[in-house]
Amino acid sequence: MAPGPTESGKPPTDEIVHRRGGGHTGLYVVVAIVVVLAVILSGAYATGYLKFASKSTSSCSGPASSVVPANSGQPAPAAPSPAFHPESGQTVSGAGSTLVQPLMATWETAYTNNTLYYSGVGSTAGINDILGKTVDFGASDAPMNPTQRSLITTPGGIDTIPESAGAAVPIYNLPTVGQTLKFTGAVLAGIYLGDITNWNNSLLQVANPGVVLPNACIIVVHRSDGSGTTFVFTSFLSKENATWNQTRGFSTQPTVFPIGIGAKGNGAVTTTVKSTPYAIGYVDINYALSNGVAFGAVQNPKGNFILASLTNIASAINDSNVKFPAANGDWYNVSVLNAPGAQDYPMATLTYVLVYANLTAADVGTSPTYITHAVGEALVDVLKWMVNETEGQSYSAAAYYVPLPAWVVASDMATIGSIAKTIPP
């Protein structure tokens, strides 16, 4: 490999250090790769597959470089740990909606007759779980759709029981804007379609006169998991914007969103928006309030811009005059969106617990037994406790949830009473 010493006594000339003949294979390979890449690239640009870009002259030129420090994390002041309740009685397990998860967490500690376990895995996963009988109750903000209902094999079906209420609110992170922004449904749809790309877009400016909107690109955030909150939000968008209704539709699955960053769970959407300047997202109101994230007012059918609050969500539920179908019937069209009242918040939603209507029938063919007598009693007890005004519902307001109106409670109690009759012996 290395050439031998020179014959004469002269010091080796420079060229001897370089190889004679051969040995340039590596160089050839590199040159070949570079040439091939150059050919491919120029072909791509020539055919328009890749495009040269000109310096962006659109108004959406990117955010300014001043950044809100993400979560600078002062240590939380010490507080007594919530009483992690000692195990008692039977264990009742549920899973589903993240919208109701913080309330369920409060209920887990407050309800002491039995042990309540809840996992916030997303509404769709919750429905899958109750269909698969891996949990005692499922939870979802979106009622079961026809396809999911067709998968029910147990006689009597699954009951849909509203146990709380909330609303989807548009959260945003605008470091330079102190006022509360106003959004119309059309604007929200435009943002999530990718038609409105800059915060200082004229449509936004028109809705917010007097507010200095920054010249920054809107960073869209949505859910990446099957979500009832997505269902509520996209249902609203479908009602408000014809393009959205025709090209995207509404669903729990995130594929309705053509652009944007995906985050798993209401908490992750809140986190992403909170740490990304110029971002916008949609979460349940309790996440916005408990994390101190700004959210905007939304225009209702009467043309008023309503900033969501527990009061105007409750009035929306009452004013919407919704008629509940039979407990085990099809709730897919039950909606409290765009309630008619002047001060009603347009994106209110009920959130539902899903339980088998006939517990004995549900046990057929399951091994080990799906709901035993003891678990059945505990399940009925938990459900009654949840919807009761003086018990479960009394924790709602402090957790930023809307307590159920009395007529909903009455309907629920009737349903739960019917379920109680089917507890296996």
Site for other proteins in 40-69 (CB under 8 A): 45, 50-56, 60, 62-63, 65-67
Q: Which residue lies nearer to other proteins by CB, 283 or 408?
A: 283
Partner residues linked to 95 by β-bridges: 119, 138
9 is a contact residue toward other proteins (CB under 8 A): no
Per-residue binding letters, 204-243, with other proteins (x by CB under 8 A): -------------xxx--x-xxx-----------------
Per CB under 8 A, which of residues 129..188 are in contact with other proteins?
132, 134, 145-148
Q: Which residue lies nearer to other proteins by CB, 65 or 390?
A: 65
CB 118, min distance to other proteins, A? 8
- Which among 100, 147, 102, 150 is positioned nearest to 126, based on CA atoms? 100
How many chain residues interact with other proteins (CB under 8 A)? Answer: 100
Q: Which residue lies nearer to other proteins by CB, 110 or 409?
A: 110
Please give the Cα distance from 207 to 250 (Å, whole number).
25
CB 405, min distance to other proteins, A? 26
Token pair in block for residue 98: 């993240």
Residue 15: partners with Cβ closer than 8 Å, 6 or more residues away: none
Residue owning tokens 């949609």 = 282
Phi-psi region of 22 (alpha: psi -120 to 50; beta: other; left: phi over 0): left
Per CB under 8 A, which of residues 100..129 are in contact with other proteins?
102, 105-106, 109, 117, 119-122, 124-125
CB 163, min distance to other proteins, A? 18
- Contact indicator for 191, 307 with CB cutoff of 8 Å: no
Per CB under 8 A, which of residues 251..290 are in contact with other proteins?
251-265, 267-268, 270-272, 274-276, 290
CA atoms within 13 A on the CB side of 309: 6
Number of C-beta neighbours around residue 44 at 10 A = 12
Q: What single string gives the DSSP state of each residue in 331-371? A: -TT---TT-SSTT--TTEEEEEEEEES-HHHHHTT-SS-SS
- Contact indicator for 389, 405 with CB cutoff of 8 Å: no
Dihedral of the alpha carbons of 184, 189, 195, 196, in degrees to the nearest 10: 40
Per CB under 8 A, which of residues 62..101 are in contact with other proteins?
62-63, 65-67, 70-71, 73-82, 84, 87, 95
CB 192, min distance to other proteins, A? 11
Per CB under 8 A, which of residues 359..418 are in contact with other proteins?
none
Per CB under 8 A, which of residues 284..323 are in contact with other proteins?
290-293
Candidates 1, 57, 209, 333; binder of other proteins (CB under 8 A) is 1
∠ CA 322-330-401, nearest 5°, is 50
CB 327, min distance to other proteins, A? 21
Q: Which residue lies nearer to other proteins by CB, 81 or 321?
A: 81
